[in-house]
Amino acid sequence: MIIPETLVKTERQVMLILLTGAAGFLGSHLCDRLLAEGHKVIGLDNFVTGNPENLKHLEGNPNFRLMVQDVSAFIQVDEPLDYILHFASPASPNPTSPLGYPNLPIQTLKAGALGTYNSLGLAKAHKARFLLASTSEVYGDPTVHPQSEDYWGNCDPIGPRSVYDEAKRFAEALTMAYHNVHGVRTHIVRIFNTFGPRMRLDDGRVVPNFIQQALRGEPLTIYGTGEQTRSFCYVSDLIEGIYRLMMSDEHLPVNIGNPIETSIKDFALIINELCQNPAGIITQYADTLGDDPQRRQPDITRARTILGWEPQVAMRDGLNITIDYTRQKLGLPARQA
């Protein structure tokens, strides 16, 4: 993809970038992209949910440095920073995983509140640009479909998902306040369901759960009716959209995700097909967490118009790559051609 000339940054071509949540699924892929673009990266992570293995390949890279720190504590960086990207937060809604935000409620709220405050303060002090990783969860269980950036959402502020939803909603409000009051050049990306290599296999999210069950020859477990929908975006497409946004002048929130809507039941059937798993599916009608959004589909008009971006990787192609990665992590033999 070619980035339009209007999106090319006019300051120093080589930037020093602080990326919080660098050892996470998305953070580690973003590290790779930033380094590939020739920038220098300071990755910050405390490994509560981030995985050190995601950054192992960067050991010895002179343009990468790791800071092991909680983002909710004061961040000290002496070198002049050009950009700060705030990606640190638990993100899995699964209450059966110790890595899910229902089991890390205080850490999740602190990452969204204190972490955003500290990151924005650092951006202000360094006169650096700032990008917030927000989420489609700010829309809650939407009453508008598909969801565009001007939809205010339908969220329960004290419900079972509130620690994540409200942390991100507060983070967006604080980001806009720093933009309006202090003139910090800010960006907000609302990330929809993303998948690919480096997802933690033990955090209880739907893609690694389904793939592992399928590879074990087990029926895939669906919570609720299976008619609830998600829109799955492959990680390389998401990173491309984020990079285009960070190089743009757009300060309003931008949805980045795949607009193709798929029911969870159909998604399970696709994974069984790709894994050649004949065990089928099991439907459990209890929603283990509650407040499960029934429909999720991004309106990406703003991303198409402003960034010239839309996803390029077909879901099945991305799933095949992710299945091969999962096989490798589980020590299973590679698929026969």
Domains of the chain plus CATH, in order, are 5-194+235-258+298-312 (3.40.50.720)
Lowest mean pLDDT among 69-78, 183-192, 287-296, 311-320: 287-296
pLDDT for the residue numbered 4: 43
Selected catalytic residue, list 139, 164, 234, 243: 164
243 is catalytic: no
pLDDT digits (tens, 9 = 90+) for 21-36: 999 999 999 999 999 9
**What amino acid is encoded at 229 in this protein?**
T
pLDDT at residue 2 is higher than 60: no
Which DSSP symbol is given to 51?
-
Give me the percent of the chain exceeding a pLDDT of 70.
94
Name the nearest CA neighbour of 82 among 29, 13, 183.
13
Compute the distance between CA of residue 65 and CA of residue 71 in angstroms, rounded to an integer.
Answer: 16
pLDDT at residue 10 is higher than 50: no
pTM for this predicted structure = 0.94
pLDDT at residue 292 is higher than 70: yes
pLDDT for the residue numbered 9: 41
pLDDT at residue 224 is higher than 90: no
Helices (H), 127-234: 162-182, 206-215
pLDDT for the residue numbered 12: 62
Average pLDDT over residues 156-160: 92
* Cis, peptide link before residue 146, omega less than 30° from 0: yes
CB neighbours of 177 closer than 8 A, spacing ≥ 6?
none
Residue 336 pLDDT level (bands cut at 50, 70, 90): confident
Name the percent of the chain in helix, strand, coil, to the closest 5.
40, 15, 45
pLDDT digits (tens, 9 = 90+) for 230-280: 999 999 999 999 999 999 999 999 999 999 999 999 999 999 999 999 999
β-bridge pairing 83-86 and 129-135: parallel
> Facing residues of 68 across strands?
45
Mean pLDDT for the chain overall: 93
Residue 330 pLDDT level (bands cut at 50, 70, 90): very high
pLDDT for the residue numbered 11: 52
Which DSSP symbol is given to 298?
B
Average pLDDT over residues 283-307: 84
Residue 16 pLDDT level (bands cut at 50, 70, 90): very high
Phi then psi for 17, rounded to 5 degrees? Answer: -120, 130
Compute the distance between CA of residue 162 and CA of residue 159 in angstroms, rounded to an integer.
Answer: 5
Compute the distance between CA of residue 213 and CA of residue 33 in angstroms, rounded to an integer.
Answer: 31
